[in-house]
Amino acid sequence: MTAPHDKTPPAPAANFIKNLVEADLAAGKHAQRHWAGHPGTAADHAAGPLDPARIRTRFPPEPNGYLHFGHAKSILLNFGLAEQFGGRCHLRFDDTNPEKEEQEYVDSIVDAVKWLGCSWEQGGETNLYYASNYFDWMAQFAEYLISAGHAYVDSQSADAMRANRGTLTEPGKDSPYRQRSVAENSALFARMRAGEFPDGAHILRAKIDMASPNINLRDPAIYRIRHATHHNTGDQWCVYPMYTFAHPIEDALENITHSICTLEFEDQRPFYDWLLERLAEGGLLQRPLPQQIEFSRLNLTYVVLSKRKLIQLVEEKHVEGWDDPRLPTLVGARRRGYAPAGFRLFAERIGVSKNDSNIDYVLFEDAMREVMNESDQRRVAVLDPLKLIIDNYPAGQVEECLAPNHPLHPELGQRPMPFSRELWIEGEDFQEVPEKGFRRLFPGNKARLKYGYVVECTGCDKDETGKVVAVRCTYLPDTKSGTPGADSVKVKGNLHWVSAAHAYPAQIRLYDRLFSVPAPGARREGDGPEVERNFLDDLNPASKTVITAQLEPALQNAGAEERFQFERHGYFVADRVDSRPGAPVFNRTVTLKDAWK
């Protein structure tokens, strides 16, 4: 399959979820809910005041990996809606699965959400929750379902259960255990909880309809036996709720009004509603119940967002760790220098919809450029240094040239740049024999050293191999920028430079896209039926280049994570891991213009 390119227009895109929330608010749908001040059952909430939050949303990551750009879309959507409508957004760790979760992931998720500028501390509330703290309620609710005849313990083998589930075209078959009495089911579930059975011996299932056209309603499993230690509850439990059972309950306990998830959960919505209805009928959950709303997940060209593929990239060392600046993880984005505000602009522009789409990476980069152009101060860096010697400038003399910190913000002032007889310029700014249209330095041509003087190129020095090692010129003393004589000589070329004696030689990592094709691993036009592609074959071999550049002296004091526009080159950030005080190392975040078109 090749990826369709969806170049979304750069205006805020429609957001059907926002419209839905607005309609609910206008109808007063949630206005009568109470809030206990913490998650709870119907009784707990009834004892509290009216909920001060007009809506409640949540971001519910499973702490089993690092967050990626797709999660950012969900985070910004959920926290954004809460902010916009006087609501609250909860950060909830969906940690009901005992085997896969780790504190390291919890910490990194907390950091990433904060870094994006989102807060679960709103209106005097701190809404940070762990689903595993609801295990008592979940077990109690399971017991209620048993007592009401809505759940039963099944003792079929896993194979038999699978065989009896039916297919998309054939109905399933009732389990021989489906007619167990309430008393028998209660006793068995109690023994499951007590640890009397090994993993897989029995399972608790909702009793719905084995002939339902929706396979998810064919008596889905709700509790399983798993003798495992949980990172939060330790060995307290040997039965754990299934995700599809736990998630709606978590939402309801937390008074979530709009439970937003990605499209693959659409088929689960009938069970979500069925379950919450049964529990509300039993008086266990407050009404109105949360509503599940699905939107299409973010897919981006030139990256992979599947957890499995990201793990493979890290474990097989195709990248240098989860925070490798080339990875579309949020820890990687932070190291790369991408701006949280750029994520927000991007999310606004792509909007939310139910259509699967593949967003062009350029749209992401353009949002970043737009934000950083506004926010980042300018500095000068020479990435491919070539010596320029000004023969008529006195050796040992140093003067200051003033460079504006931000052309769009004169209030940010100017900084002095030392100017002297020997400078570094870009190698590409000199051509001994100029090609057509070349306007910078070649013998006999005049050009301006930006913020400094007009110089006239007189020639160059070469080594024995014929390689140019220095360019020679003379300067015109009356032409300094900012002086009355500046415009007396008209030139067409303008180049940047740093004083060789004052420059800071820094390591710079030039990052580029990790993959060289829009849809890594996908079949391309013209591929025969026999062609199988591996996404690793599409890795861009030039995704990282390390160089030593000459930077203007002010950059030597850049603090970790400080980002600048290096004139003509793009946006660069002082790496937060490898920089040392007085010795920053820089990462290229993005070039000034897209070079991939």
Q: Which residues bind ligand ATP (CB under 6 A)?
A: 60-62, 64, 70-71, 73-74, 261-262, 297-298, 305, 307
SS3 category, 137 = helix
Taking alpha carbons only, the member of 497, 367, 100 closest to residue 359 is: 367
Angstrom distance (rounded) from CA 400 to CA 416: 5
The nearest distance, CB 510 to ligand ATP, in angstroms, is: 28
CA max distance for the chain = 103
Name the residue nearer to ligand ATP (CB basis): 62 or 561: 62
Helix (H) or strand (E) run with residue 26 in it = helix 16-26
Name the residue nearer to ligand ATP (CB basis): 101 or 562: 101
Active site residue 523: no
Name the residue nearer to ligand ATP (CB basis): 304 or 388: 304
The number of C-alpha atoms within 13 Å of 564 and in the hemisphere containing its C-beta is 26
The nearest distance, CB 128 to ligand ATP, in angstroms, is: 15
Task: Provide the β-strand partners of residue 399.
Answer: 419
Name the residue nearer to ligand ATP (CB basis): 133 or 414: 133
Name the residue nearer to ligand ATP (CB basis): 353 or 375: 353
The nearest distance, CB 302 to ligand ATP, in angstroms, is: 15
Name the residue nearer to ligand ATP (CB basis): 206 or 293: 293
Name the residue nearer to ligand ATP (CB basis): 71 or 207: 71
The nearest distance, CB 49 to ligand ATP, in angstroms, is: 29
Helix (H) or strand (E) run with residue 341 in it = helix 340-350
Angstrom distance (rounded) from CA 110 to CA 533: 36
Active site residue 62: yes
How many helical (H) and strand (E) elements, i.e. helices and strands, does the chain have? 13, 29
The nearest distance, CB 292 to ligand ATP, in angstroms, is: 11
Catalytic residue (one of 18, 29, 173, 307): 307
Catalytic residue (one of 29, 297, 533, 568): 297
Cβ proximity of 210 and 174 under 8 Å: yes
Catalytic residue (one of 18, 29, 54, 62): 62
SS3 of 38-103: the string is CCCCHHHHHCCCECCCCCEEEECCCCCCCCEHHHHHHHHHHHHHHHHCCCEEEEEECCCCCCCCCH
CA angle 177, 214, 74 (to 5 degrees): 115
The nearest distance, CB 354 to ligand ATP, in angstroms, is: 12
- In 463-567, the DSSP E strands lie at 468-475, 493-495, 497-499, 504-511, 544-551, 563-566
The nearest distance, CB 590 to ligand ATP, in angstroms, is: 21
Taking alpha carbons only, the member of 448, 439, 440 closest to residue 488 is: 448
Phi-psi region of 219 (alpha: psi -120 to 50; beta: other; left: phi over 0): left
SS3 of 383-440: the string is CCEEEEEECCCCCCCCEEEEEECCCCCHHHCEEEEEECCEEEEEHHHECCCCCCCCCC
Residue nearest to ligand ATP as judged by C-beta position: 70
Task: Tell me, rounded to whole angstroms, the distance of Cα 84 from its chain centroid.
Answer: 21
Name the residue nearer to ligand ATP (CB basis): 61 or 342: 61
Cβ proximity of 592 and 570 under 8 Å: yes
Active site residue 297: yes
Cβ proximity of 164 and 187 under 8 Å: no
Name the residue nearer to ligand ATP (CB basis): 76 or 380: 76
Cβ proximity of 563 and 572 under 8 Å: yes
Q: Is the dihedral of CA 485, 487, 493, 496 positive or negative?
A: positive
**Lookup: tokens for 423:** 């400078």
The nearest distance, CB 104 to ligand ATP, in angstroms, is: 14
The nearest distance, CB 199 to ligand ATP, in angstroms, is: 21
Q: What positions carry a catalytic annotation? A: 62, 297, 307
